Structure 1
Amino acid sequence: MHGVMRRPPGAATDETPATSRVMLMLLVVMTGVAPISLYLLVPALPLLAVGFGRDIAIAQMTVSLYMVGIACSQIIMGPLSDRFGRRPVLLAGLGLMVAASVGCIFAQSLPQLIAARFLQALGGASGMVISRAIIRDLYPRERIGAMISLVIAVMMIAQMLSPLTGGLLETAFGWRAIFYVITAFALVTAVAIALALPETRREGSGKSGFRGDVGKLFGSRAFVGYMLCQVLASQIIFAFAGGGPYIVVTQMGRSSAEYGAWFATTAFAYLIGNVFCVRFSPRHSLERLIWFGLALQVAGSLLNFLLSLGGVNQVPSWLFGTQMIVMFANAFVMSNSAAGAISVRPEAAGTASGAMGFLQMGLGSLISQLGAYLGGHFATTLPLTSAILVLSAACVSTMIFIVPRRKVMVSESLIEQAEEEESGML
């Protein structure tokens, strides 16, 4: 139901423990267990290649196939949580992650480690997709964007520290120590969910089945528009992350360490954007927050493009300074468009979240490669900033041409609700 909130039986109100700090921390850890585990291993990749006597490109597959596992998990775990409940699917996914993490500890070859990492991501990413569905179960439509932003803001602090933590663990105890920590993290998360997370799935969810839910979701202009807006906005991050290293190191002649420091500024801007989104959400509608983010995102992208056109941003301060504006705005667009997408059919929130996450990660792998090509095969920042401007304009187009107006959405919701109630009576 988009636009009409019907609180499910047993769902949390503002006064229940489900909206407490415990619930927030559960949402944070279940969202962060997969991405944090991804970044913990990154500093150890060169040593993995040396230790197993393989090329660094093969060691890189512990990251690339991990991302494939995250994408696959989104499309599998979301629909399963609609059918069987949030808790059992979460616990099964985290159980798979624990087993796969143990497999990583005892891996005797790089192919074994790569296979175990894929399974680790497949299980761990269940928290990413199901956390959004749980937020939709618990909160009214206008609060979902704020809650997603709050979870992301807290999680990003830990995620930004993950490479440093992984590097310290590898230096002090060896690369296998990273997987001991990941195993313990996943196990503690599973125990916390088993003890403290109530089942939040709506009664009657999953009755229409996966094909029925997918058909109804993709038959809704609101869902398609919000989903595309969120997915396209996320591709700005992938494009810039793919092309940024080549621009800073190759074109500008700076060190990789300097690139890392500059890139951290964009992550910080995204974090601050999520914090501001939480603050503004109680006083503004979801659509207004999306349009604010889109306006600022296009303005930042256009400024970066014009600076590239004039040859001004051939130094990191200009390139990353304007990109910080884009990333600040991106937080508003992504969290609130995600909230809009999973609110179209609350009883299929898991399926909606899974489809959105799958497209985001699947398309992201291609866009990051495109970004690397644009940054590495040209002597100017113009191709990359042009691509970011096109993506920003595409986000605006989805809201203008696909998402129906708010009054139409509410009318459709009321008709759908009446049809469901009538079918229930029959």
Structure 2
Amino acid sequence: MHGLTGKTPTAEPRDQLISRSMLLLLVAMTGAAPISMYILVPALPMLANVFGRDISIAQMTVSLFMVGIAFSQIVLGPLSDKLGRRPVLLGGLALMMLASVGCIFAETLPQLIAARFLQALGGASGMVISRAIIRDLYARDRVGSMISLVVAVMMIAQMLSPLLGGVIETSLGWRAIFYVIALVSVLVTIVIAVALPETRRAADRPPGASFLSDARSLTTSRAFVGYVLCQVLASSIIFTFAGGGPYVVVTQMGRSSAEYGAWFATSGLAYLIGNLCCVRFSPRHSLERLIWLGLALQFLGAALNLTWGLLGYNQQPNWLFGTHMLITFANAFVMSNSAAGAISIKPQAAGTASGLMGFLQMGFGALCSQFGAWLGGHFATPVPLNIAIVVLSLACAASMIFLVPRGGVIATEDLIEQAEEEETGLL
């Protein structure tokens, strides 16, 4: 618990274990699943034509992929606490590798959808375990900046993956996309097997600890619930806007899908810049202060977007996306630092905390994406979508105000230590 209380650990300094090569490993394992999801998106119309199915069925290769990511995290996170980071991560990547081969040889769309689901189950191991590894290696005050750094580097590849997928599909056919995914999976698995040490220390794991005991102690912590809700609701802003944005720009504003794609890229750029700024500011400011900065900017952007909508300015994409860039810039501060707070509540259960948070993020995000699409498709103005984003912004702030104690994680950890000591005394 030294990372939370400020006490110097005996194995000092753990931060020195991190290098550029470790950063690249974290980026590779984190990006495996999201890049595999987005690289196939340009080929969805081709899949529908090749297999003679409706585009909504082809879309399931992406939607069920998200479901696989959600359920995988809630299983693999706790397993990494129990068995170690390396074996669970290598097992997940091996499953992703085999599932990619299954995608190559799929003869029907249901077979491809099933293989993609397994691909997500394996690939999500990198997403959940990378956060736990960062918590293993870093003191609490450094976790937020390291998550931001990993996300920033990964986003560059993630933003380019649809372009790469389109080029591959046009030049070599849709199956070539899975050849690339399979090859990259093999390379990442080999590199991690050779270069990644086990970061979970057996001494940090109390005897008799289990998923149920870890989940119980985490979910009964107001601070953990507050940080997780803040992170999940902040990410849901992105999912909601992504679901409704195409309908707003293409249907309501009468613009082309290509123009929507160009405008949407500005949101990704703002999120990337936000993560880089978070890395820069993190050494000089506390985790809670950075969250509140993000929440303030996030609400300001949401309120401006609603104002432009009520005044009629939001019928132009530059007004809509101009203020949405402020929202996504602030989003980076909120998401990375609230995630850091959540996995720092109980460091010896960082995998379980990361898994629970990832499950809720993807599950609730999928619902918000559908809700955003309904708002964009059933109204003639973007105002309902603007209102939804304002509400989510306020809910983010409320989770911090009403659930996270003054003093943040440190105050909460003191309460957890006191409860554990009392329980030990009773035994």
Please state which band the TM-score falls in when normalised by the shorter chain.
Answer: over 0.9
1:13, distance to aligned residue in structure 2 (A): 2.3
Q: Closer, same or farther in 2 for the Cα pair 1:216/1:7, shift >3 Å?
A: farther
How many Å apart are 1:411 and its aligned residue? Answer: 4.7
- The Cα of 1:92 is off from its aligned counterpart by 0.3
1:266-277, aligned counterparts within 5 Å? 266-277=267-278
Shift of 1:54: 1.4
Report the Cα distance in structure 2 between the residues aligned to 1:216 and 1:391, rounded to whole angstroms.
Answer: 27
- 1:3 match: secondary structure: helix
Q: Deviations over 1:308-351 (max 9, x none)?
A: 11111110000000000000000000000000000000000000
What does residue 370 of structure 1 align with? 371
**Correspondence list, 1:160-175, <5 A:** 160-175=159-174
State the partner residue of 1:85: 84
2:130 partner SS: helix
- 8 A contact 1:12–1:138 mirrored in 2: no
Q: Find the counterpart in structure 1 of residue 413 from structure 2.
A: 413
**Corresponding residue for residue 110 of structure 2:** 111
Query: 2:57 aligns to what?
Result: 58
Change (3 A) 1:411 1:330: closer
Residue 162 of structure 1 aligns with an amino acid whose one-letter code is S
Conserved in 1, the CA contact under 8 Å of 2:249 and 2:260? yes
| Partner secondary structure for residue 54 of structure 1 | coil
Distance 1:48 1:193 in 2: 33
* Alpha-carbon distance in structure 1 between the residues aligned to 2:40 and 2:313: 36
For the 8 Å contact 1:8–1:137, the answer to whether it is kept is: no
Question: What amino acid is aligned across from residue 131 of structure 2 in structure 1?
Answer: R
Task: Tell me the alpha carbon deviations over residues 89-137 of structure 1, each in whole angstroms, 9 at most, x when there is no partner.
Answer: 0000000001100000111111111000000000001000000000000
Distance 2:300 2:183 in 1: 44
Instruction: Output the TM-score relative to the length of structure 1.
Output: 0.96
Tell me how far apart the structure 2 counterparts of residues 10 and 194 of structure 1 sit (CA, whole Å): 24
| Distance of aligned partners of 1:415 and 1:236 in 2 relative to their CA distance in 1, 3 Å threshold | closer
Deviation of the 1:417 alpha carbon:
3.8
What residue in structure 2 maps to residue 38 of structure 1? Answer: 37
Moved runs in structure 1, 4+ residues, more than 4 A?
5-12, 418-424
Give percent identity, aligned residues only: 69
Q: Which amino acid aligns with 2:42?
A: P
* 8 A Cα contact 1:8 1:202, kept in partner: no
Are residues 8 and 180 of structure 1, via their aligned partners in 2, closer, same or farther at CA, if it must alter by over 3 Å? farther
Q: Tell me how many residue pairs correspond in the alignment.
A: 422
* AA aligned opposite 1:56: I
Deviation (angstroms), 1:421: 7.4
CA distance in 2 between partners of 1:350 and 1:210 (Å): 10
User: What amino acid maps onto 1:171 in structure 2?
Assistant: T
Secondary structure of 2:355 counterpart: helix
Which structure 2 segments of 5+ residues have no match? none
Tell me the equivalent position of 2:127: 128
Q: Distance in 2 between matches of 1:5 and 1:178?
A: 47
Q: Which residue of 1 aligns with 2:72?
A: 73
Query: What SS class does the counterpart of residue 15 from structure 2 fall into?
Result: coil
The aligned residue for residue 390 of structure 1 is 391
Normalising by the residue count of structure 2, what TM-score does the alignment of the two structures yield? 0.95
Task: Provide structure 1 residue ranges, at least 5 long, that are not aligned to the other structure.
Answer: none
Letter in 1 for 2:121: L
Partners in 1 of 2:38 and 2:146 — Cα distance? 24
1:347 alignment partner in structure 2: 348
- Rounded to whole Å, the distance in 2 between the matches of 1:11 and 1:418 is 26
Residue aligning to 2:205: 205
> Retained in 2: the 8 A contact 1:11–1:137?
no
